[in-house]
Amino acid sequence: MRRRWAELSRVERVGLYTRQSLYLLLWGFNAFVLLAATADVDGTAEAIGLFGGGLVVTALAFVGLIEAFRVYPAAVGWPRLAALLVACAVYVGLAMEWDGTVRGAALMTVAASLSLVLSLRPGDMVVATLIVGSALLFGISGGEPLSFLAGLVTAGVFVFTVRASMWLLSIVTELDEAGRAKAQLAVVEERLRFSRDVHDVLGRRLSTIAVQAELAATLAARGDERAADRMLEVRGVAHEALREARELARGYRSTDFTSELEGARSLLRSAGIDVELDVDAMPRAWQEAAGWVVRESVTNVLRHSRASRVEIAFADEALRVRNDGAGNGAPPGDGDGLRGLRERLAPLGATLEAAAEDGHWLVAARLPGAGPLSARREGVT
């Protein structure tokens, strides 16, 4: 069942428009040429031969054009075009016995029909053959230089029309495919962003819950009354994690550097880790990216080290998060969190390095200039 115009996609609309335009060009041009020439023919037999033969050639070209569109960009096999080629050859043979105007109309009909159908075949050789063949046919039949030029122009115009129309259709198709690919990429990027945020937020909160729960269990085993307070802290962190998870699901959560620092200080101190901050020189435009670095670094400290002290400092266009846990436990290495953070910073023009240094584990993010590349392009400082 045929669909209405409003139900068609953009590519389908352009494809339908292109096909119908070329169909109309074939029938309209041939009908105009044949009717104009038939009006000047005196004999009935010659008029029937001119118009009837031209109608047969046009009808076969129309069938060939439909088939060419159906298999495009593949080429229609020559056996399927045999009837059109034979009809054109017979028609040209008859036209050679007619007078100049009538013969010219028949040759134009043949040139237009073959050019429209065969131009859909791939390759430049077909185009060259059509143009040169049309020019020679007109030139030989007319016997004048202008006849040669008429054949050249006739075939050239139709070949150009077909090739330009199909080029436009291919551009629209590619744009449509690019649009779909862009939409799919946006979905993938959003999923990646969400997975990173879940890793950063929930990973840190769960690490804190694990540390505080372990401490509460130790205190409870000793009969220490502070165990209850620790469990209340665990509950508070769990509620905070739930709130942030809901914000992530709604897409409302953004990274605030000050909040990340305060959260990091609170979490580390609750785990018995001293914190030293020196980040007053941090450029404002880099604060969101710096918040990512602090969040991931603190998560790794809680998860992977036995640190007793953490230093967070910004100087010389670099944010450094150093802890003294490298000698007390296995360093985190270049895991998924750091690898994802590095990929997230790269488009902004920032780099990230992590390595053991003098018994400490150091995460260093280089944040050059006054802000990220995107902010600099937009004039933000």
pLDDT of residue 31: 94
The pLDDT of residue 236 = 82
pLDDT range class, residue 90, cuts 50, 70, 90: very high
Each residue's pLDDT tens digit, 144-176: 778 888 888 888 999 999 999 999 999 998 988
Number of domains forming the structure of the chain: 2
Alpha-carbon gap, residue 54 to 84, rounded angstroms: 11
Q: Which of 205, 194, 108, 174 is nearest to 147 (CA)?
A: 108
Exposed e or buried b per residue across 40-61, where buried means at least 16 C-beta atoms within 10 angstroms of its C-beta: ebeeeebbebbbebbebbbbbb
Is 58 a domain residue?
Answer: yes
Query: Are the beta carbons of 340 and 199 closer than 8 angstroms?
Result: yes
> Does residue 188 lie within any of the structural domains?
no
Q: How many angstroms from the chain centroid is the CA of residue 98?
A: 58
C-alpha to C-alpha distance for 275 and 262, rounded to whole angstroms: 11
Is 262 domain-assigned?
yes
Pairwise pLDDT comparison (66 vs 262), residue with the higher score: 66
User: Is residue 210, in this structure, part of any structural domain at all?
Assistant: no
The rounded distance, in Å, linking the Cα atoms of 182 and 185 is: 5
- 46, 161: one domain: yes
Instruction: Give the residue carrying structure tokens 């063949």.
Output: 133
Question: Binning pLDDT at 50, 70 and 90, where does residue 257 land?
Answer: confident
pLDDT over threshold 80, residue 6 = no
How many whole angstroms separate alpha carbon 45 and alpha carbon 47? 5
Domain end (from 123, 148, 180): 180
Output the CA–CA distances (angstroms, integers) from residue 11 to 15, 120, 168, 277, 378, in the order listed: 6, 18, 11, 58, 35
Span 250-268, average pLDDT: 73
- Provide the CATH number for the domain around residue 352: 3.30.565.10
Same structural domain for residues 31 and 148?
yes
| 172 in the same domain as 25 | yes
Assess if residue 95 is contained within a domain: yes
pLDDT at position 250 is: 61
Helix crossing, 100-118 with 10-38: angle to 10°?
170
Q: Residue 100: its pLDDT value, please? A: 78
The mean predicted confidence, pLDDT, of the chain is: 83
> Which of the residue ranges 208-212, 259-263, 266-270, 331-335 would you say has the lowest mean pLDDT?
331-335
**The predicted structure's pLDDT at residue 91:** 93
For residues 134 and 148, the answer to whether their CB atoms sit within 8 Å is no
Domain span including residue 303: 256-381
Residue 63: the pLDDT is: 95
Picking from 63-67, 80-84, 316-320, 370-374, which range would have the lowest pLDDT averaged per residue?
Answer: 370-374
161 and 51 together in one domain: yes
Among 63, 62, 55, 60, which residue's Cα sits nearest to residue 31? Answer: 55
Is 319 found in the same domain as 176? no
Q: Which residue, of 163, 180, 197, is where some domain finishes?
A: 180
Q: What is the mean predicted confidence (pLDDT) over 4-33?
A: 89
Look at residues 130, 152, 180 and tell me which one is the last residue of a structural domain.
Answer: 180
pLDDT at 379: 44
| Averaged pLDDT, 227-235 | 84
- Mean per-residue pLDDT, 185-207: 70
pLDDT at residue 312 greater than cutoff 90: yes
Sequence-ordered list of residues with C-beta below 8 angstroms from that of 375, at least 6 positions apart, any chain: 285, 381
User: What is the reported pLDDT for 381?
Assistant: 38
CA-based radius of gyration for the chain:
39
Whether 164 and 27 map to the same domain: the answer is yes
pLDDT at 13 over 70: yes
**Are residues 176 and 261 both part of a single domain?**
no
**170, 281: one domain:** no
- The alpha carbon dihedral of 96, 102, 107, 109 has a sign of negative
Q: How many CB atoms lie within 10 A of CB 233?
A: 18
Q: How far is CA 298 from CA 69, 142, 255, 332, in A?
A: 62, 89, 15, 11
What confidence tens digit (pLDDT) does each residue in 31-75 have? 999 998 888 787 788 889 999 999 999 999 999 999 999 998 888
- The answer to whether residue 245 is domain-embedded is no
10 Å CB burial of residue 162 (0-12, 13-18, 19+) is buried
Q: Which residues are bridge partners to 362 per DSSP?
A: 322, 355
Q: Is residue 212 part of a domain?
A: no
Domain identity same for 266 and 124: no
Q: Is residue 313 part of a domain?
A: yes
Is 270 in the same domain as 160?
no
Pairing of strands 309-315, 274-278: parallel
**Triad 253, 256, 261: Cα angle to 5°:** 130
Other residues' Cβ atoms within 10 Å of the Cβ of residue 297 = 30
